[in-house]
Amino acid sequence: MKKSYTAFLASLLLVAGIAFAQSPANTYVFQTFGEPVTMDPARAYDTGSGGIIENVYETLFLYDGEAIDQFVPGLATGYSVSDDGLTWTFDLREGVKFHSGNTMSCKDVAWSFKYGAVTANAEGATAYLMGHYWLGTQVDGSDKDAYLAEVTWEMIDNIVECPEGPDGLVAVVNLVNPTPALVPILTYTAFSILDSEWAIENGQWDGTEATWQDWIGRDLTAEFLHNNVSGTGAYRLVEWGTDSVVAEAFPEYWGGAPAIQNVVYQYVDEQSTRILAIQQGDADRILLNERAALNQLRGAPGVTILEEGWYPASVTAVFFNFDIDTSNNEDVGSGQLDGNGIPSDFFADVNVRRAFAHLFDQEGFVDQIYEGAGQVLTMGMPPAFLGYNPDAPVRTLDLEAAEEYFRAAFDGELWEKGFQFTALYNSGNTIRQTALEIMADNLEFINPNFRMTVRGLPWADYLARTAEKKAPMFALGWAADYADPSNFINTFYDNDGYYSARTSVNVPEIQALIDQADTVLDPGERAFLYRDIGTLHYDQVPLLAVPVQEDFMVVRDNLEGVYYNTMLSTEFYWKDIAKR
């Protein structure tokens, strides 16, 4: 008994005694959370998938380091555009190999774009981002009949032409509606170039008219491309396992061999485990759930916290509903301007919106909620985007101004009668909650007859409530798909934009500028138009932009080449980093 006990202890010590190797020098280990949903670019619309896809696949153009408005040649070396902005001719890079060994040419560009347009996956981004431009409709594939009512094979076939033949190196993209944002949009992972021969060999769409209808709205998670990758990226996918992704350098990459041989993404839900891993050197980078956790890592040997004034390409805003559905709506009280509720057009009055904007303490929010690590926004767009107007004035806490605007609203009737309503946020999102509560608290000082309550709803209920236009005021956000102002301006301010279905936003002066900006190709001219929208944002307050919090990165100090490109799901291309 004694002997076996000793042997057990000895073996335990032996096991424990094997020193843990830190993350190997040729391997980059990233511990994060939020696993990829798919490897198919036509289906992916999440950062988990995007972080892998943007490194194993490539698009026609790539981001240039930190710059989000600079694009460098990727699989295209250059392009020209017709005067009407409808015909874009891309020169493709010569000698690019896919991971399968096939050579990239125009047929791959054509197949990839057409595959995205045909599958039009409702959970993907192709129909939403490009449908309007290359088919004239954003209809997705979830309703096949509706799709077929608007889309024909001729329209699909027209999307890309190969004037030099399928194996040529010129691809012509035909649009039916012009957009100045085509290059930024096509740099999004949804428009990655796939290996058509390899895909067809493995049972994917054969690219012909005979079968295209079979692929409309097909469940792509059951398809080969969901799990398998043959891209042109600097890394090839080795394994997408239960809780990790492993990739290795692609020796035939056109841009030369990257410094890091292996990349391992480990999906670790428990934050404390990730923190210990970076301290131990088992991870080269970790993702934290919240900024407060940084305090556990400050001063940790071997760990570097990068805080270099980076801001994410996302905006959180408080939205005003211009046309509230007041029927059976507990959040608007009586639904009348009688002191016990609000009418449906409550926020259509610009003075009401202006007054609410003066209830929010912008600088105070940055100082107290973000502990100084934040930035006030002058409009509903990230500061790094083209046309952001840093000089536009910002309405901030000013109770006298708020009172003045409230007195002017509804020709003075509002001030006399008072109002009450409920503003909404999704439970658990403390930033959104706090923003609304600040306004509710300050409102009490204005007029005792003004009452605003704030309530949180579970995510699903919250979405339903806003979709039904029953939420009078709510806090929600948007993260950029592509680096162009239209991705925010049209989304937030356009009366036909994404948020209009929840807010019925309608400011004619802004709408005129949006319509104009959509047709102008010159970036300088567009920038002016968007800057004007920034100025009008101050005057018309269609929404209230909440300050943005500074972003950070936690890495081991031997990791080199790290930069922050807010448009990339994983902030930098793996091929650009190295380890000392």
Partner 1 sequence: MFSFIVRRLLLLPVVFVGVTLAIVLLMQLLTPYQRAAAYVQSEQQIRQIPAIIEQFGLEDPWYMQYGRWLGQVFEGNLGYSRTSREPVLTTLQRRFPVTLELALIAIIPVLGVGITMGTAAALNRDRFFDQFTRVVSVIGWSLPTFVLGIWLLVIFYGWLGWFQPGRISTRFAVELAGASGFTSYTRMLTIDSLLNGRLDIFLDALKHMVLPVVTLAVVQSAQIMRVMRSSLLDALGQDYVRTARAKGLPDRVVTRKHARRNALIPVITLSGFVLIGLINGVVITETIFNYPGLGQWAAAAATNLDYASVLGFAIFTAMMVVFANLLVDVLYGIVDPRIRYE
The number of residues that bind partner 1 (CB under 8 A) is 62
Looking at residue 39, its amino acid is: M
Does 246 contact partner 1 by CB under 8 A? yes
For strand 578-579 and strand 559-560, is the pairing parallel, antiparallel, or unpaired? Answer: antiparallel
Bridge partner list, 544: 318
Does 143 contact partner 1 by CB under 8 A? yes
From residue 223, alpha-carbon distances to 91, 110, 112, 159, 203 in Å are 31, 20, 15, 23, 8
Does 287 contact partner 1 by CB under 8 A? no
CB of 262 to partner 1, least distance (A): 5
Which of 100, 158 has the CB closer to partner 1? Answer: 100
Structure tokens at 35: 């696993």
Which of 266, 378 has the CB closer to partner 1? Answer: 266
Does 290 contact partner 1 by CB under 8 A? no
Please pick, from the candidates 203, 241, 364, 428, the single residue that binds partner 1 as defined by CB under 8 A.
Answer: 241
Which of 24, 364 has the CB closer to partner 1? Answer: 24
Does 280 contact partner 1 by CB under 8 A? yes
CB of 491 to partner 1, least distance (A): 9
User: Stretches 97-105, 122-130, 338-346, 509-517: which one binds partner 1 (CB under 8 A)?
Assistant: 122-130
Does 37 contact partner 1 by CB under 8 A? yes
Give the separation between CA 412 and CA 79, rounded to whole angstroms: 58
Looking at residue 25, its amino acid is: A
Residue 242, SS3 per DSSP: coil
Does 14 contact partner 1 by CB under 8 A? yes
Which of 30, 88 has the CB closer to partner 1? Answer: 30
Please pick, from the candidates 282, 484, 551, 571, the single residue that binds partner 1 as defined by CB under 8 A.
Answer: 282
Does 433 contact partner 1 by CB under 8 A? no
Q: Is the dihedral of CA 512, 517, 518, 521 positive or negative?
A: positive
In 444-522, where does DSSP find H-type helix?
459-467, 486-493, 500-503, 508-517
Give the separation between CA 342 and CA 368, rounded to whole angstroms: 31
Please pick, from the candidates 448, 460, 524, 580, the single residue that binds partner 1 as defined by CB under 8 A.
Answer: 460
Does 297 contact partner 1 by CB under 8 A? no
Does 1 contact partner 1 by CB under 8 A? no
Does 325 contact partner 1 by CB under 8 A? no
Residue 259, judged by CB atoms within 10 A of its CB (0-12, 13-18, 19+), counts as middle
Does 125 contact partner 1 by CB under 8 A? yes
Give the separation between CA 580 and CA 578, rounded to whole angstroms: 7
Residue with tokens 């009366």: 495
Please pick, from the candidates 1, 4, 5, 20, the single residue that binds partner 1 as defined by CB under 8 A.
Answer: 20
Structure tokens at 366: 């940055």
Total Cβ atoms within 10 A of residue 526: 22
Radius of gyration of the chain (CA): 26
Total Cβ atoms within 10 A of residue 445: 12
User: Stretches 78-86, 155-163, 279-287, 305-313: which one binds partner 1 (CB under 8 A)?
Assistant: 279-287
Residues binding partner 1 (CB under 8 A)? 12, 14-16, 18, 20-21, 23-24, 27, 29, 35-38, 45-46, 122-123, 125, 128, 140, 142-143, 221-222, 226, 238-239, 241-244, 246, 248, 262, 264, 266, 268-270, 272-273, 276-277, 279-280, 282, 458-461, 463-464, 467, 476-479, 481, 498, 501
